[in-house]
Structure 1
């Protein structure tokens, strides 16, 4: 039984019914994602991943913070089953405004622990790439120890030296104690669903608490949101332009580790912008 079959079988067990139709969905690069049509006529989504139970908790936490995310229907250590959000293309005009307003509410919601507010209760992963999330008392310590230094053994020596230099100097670049916002953690356009141009919801979180600008940096890494997004989200603190390259470096490092040398140029270019 391959992984997709295993996920489909487990989803049927969790739901207590056999689907009438199962269709693999595009975009499941790191784990199969299945659309399942139930006898009731409802469509649900079933997926595996590094930890379905952790993803379910992330979705619930995001929902509590006001984010539009799929409802968790069932979960086990093998499989997460959730509602299928409507999707018919990307965001337009008002949809980008809705995303900005929704993300601002999410980022302002309280919820981080008081003693070590930056991080998440458990580690996670992007496929084979671990995501350390151990809580830290300062944001700068978290970014250096959980987002920069773990990649050093996987990098070519010249890039590793530059990333280590940035980690050692991180106090000069990032605020030590920004408001600990609830982050989606993987907010690129493919994880933002639209229905007739409006915001349908966010999928595939990799949550933790940290500087809200992390989500914005990711959203701008592989494209640009519509200008209405900035209207909905509002102005950023001074110096955000310099911080953006540092926050974009983390997903660039992940892509390099996942997909190889084709991302060396992106990592080197971001380090050039940072000046290390």
Structure 2
């Protein structure tokens, strides 16, 4: 397997800072009555913010000065928001005070609209070396803490989503079989349904379980989609924050691999992680396997050059 890391094209960058677009008129806002009843204050404004390409994202401004973050979509998108809310709750339960995960305040239908409401996070631009090192160490502690006392099984109690694609879970006793069947195998089937038969895909699925099983990782709670658009430092205090997860129990290295894709996190993040919990030998080679999952997912979602990158990586792995 190759030791050098390929370069991958980045997906669109997203943020949680207020946008410049016009807000929704409160008099006609479907959330106004819910805000008044549940948050106990009138809704002053709903302003659009950056939040990705799947849902609409908003800053809710209340008359008492409080702010909240909301995602909305059609009713059919409610399972995606519910899966996100469940993932946030799981991560929040596994963190300590030096790592922020917003706990969902509401997830459900409001006037026929799927809605997820979260605390507002004011994100910083950049950050010090120490702050990013602390971020990495905090993630390592989350991984270690979540693995303690847990049964040796991989997966999650229910399926969730990776972008808008399904992320199949359930439970497996062996990591190699889980990752081959429930991660790469699912993506290769999605590709085949689009008429994309990737050369060497079947051979890779056959070879992979034994190789990954020899690694024998601890089943940690992983974020599952930890690229730089799904994590940030806060402005004040400059604590690290995680959001938009696709959680399951797996090899902690899947988070570290994703964190290096698409431009990646600063080097201090990885140094901080390694000082807290060093990665075992062979992590660079395993990283390429974990990268393939996200490359295939991006190819299935967006097409274009991601197909070529996925094929090139399969060729390298074989």
What's the TM-score, normalizing by structure 1?
0.88
In structure 1, the partner of 2:6 is: none
Relative to structure 1, the CA distance from residue 113 to residue 207 in structure 2 (aligned partners, 3 Å threshold; closer, same or farther) is farther
Relative to structure 1, the CA distance from residue 128 to residue 225 in structure 2 (aligned partners, 3 Å threshold; closer, same or farther) is closer
- Following superposition, the deviation at residue 60 of structure 1 comes to 1.7
In structure 2, the partner of 1:41 is: 65
Q: Which stretches in structure 2 are left out of the alignment for 5+ residues? A: 1-23
In structure 1, the partner of 2:86 is: 57
Alpha-carbon contact 2:70-2:118 (below 8 Å) kept: yes
C-alpha distance in structure 2 between counterparts of 1:241 and 1:40, whole Å: 50
Q: Deviations over 1:101-156 (max 9, x none)?
A: 11001111236896672111111123431110111111111101110111223326
Q: Which stretches in structure 1 are left out of the alignment for 5+ residues? A: none
C-alpha distance in structure 1 between counterparts of 2:34 and 2:175, whole Å: 42
- For the residue of structure 1 that corresponds to 2:171, the secondary structure is coil
Match of 2:178 among 136, 142, 162: 142
In structure 1, the partner of 2:108 is: 76
Q: Deviations over 1:8-46 (max 9, x none)?
A: 635852662542111122232111111111112111011
Relative to structure 1, the CA distance from residue 33 to residue 69 in structure 2 (aligned partners, 3 Å threshold; closer, same or farther) is same
C-alpha distance in structure 2 between counterparts of 1:195 and 1:116, whole Å: 35
Q: Deviations over 1:210-262 (max 9, x none)?
A: 00000000000111322222231113100001100000111111110111122
Q: Does 1:267 align with 2:313?
A: no
Alpha-carbon contact 2:71-2:117 (below 8 Å) kept: yes
In structure 2, the partner of 1:164 is: 202
What's the TM-score, normalizing by structure 2?
0.77
In structure 1, the partner of 2:279 is: 236
Match of 2:231 among 192, 206, 225: 192
C-alpha distance in structure 1 between counterparts of 2:204 and 2:35, whole Å: 46
Relative to structure 1, the CA distance from residue 160 to residue 14 in structure 2 (aligned partners, 3 Å threshold; closer, same or farther) is farther
C-alpha distance in structure 2 between counterparts of 1:110 and 1:54, whole Å: 19
Answer with 1 or 2: which has the greater Rg: 2
Alpha-carbon contact 2:67-2:120 (below 8 Å) kept: yes
Cα RMSD, aligned residues only = 2.6
- Following superposition, the deviation at residue 192 of structure 1 comes to 1.2
- For the residue of structure 2 that corresponds to 1:175, the secondary structure is helix
Match of 1:226 among 241, 258, 266: 266
In structure 1, the partner of 2:13 is: none
Q: Does 1:201 align with 2:241?
A: yes
Alpha-carbon contact 2:87-2:247 (below 8 Å) kept: yes
Relative to structure 1, the CA distance from residue 158 to residue 206 in structure 2 (aligned partners, 3 Å threshold; closer, same or farther) is closer
In structure 2, the partner of 1:27 is: 51
Relative to structure 1, the CA distance from residue 210 to residue 259 in structure 2 (aligned partners, 3 Å threshold; closer, same or farther) is same
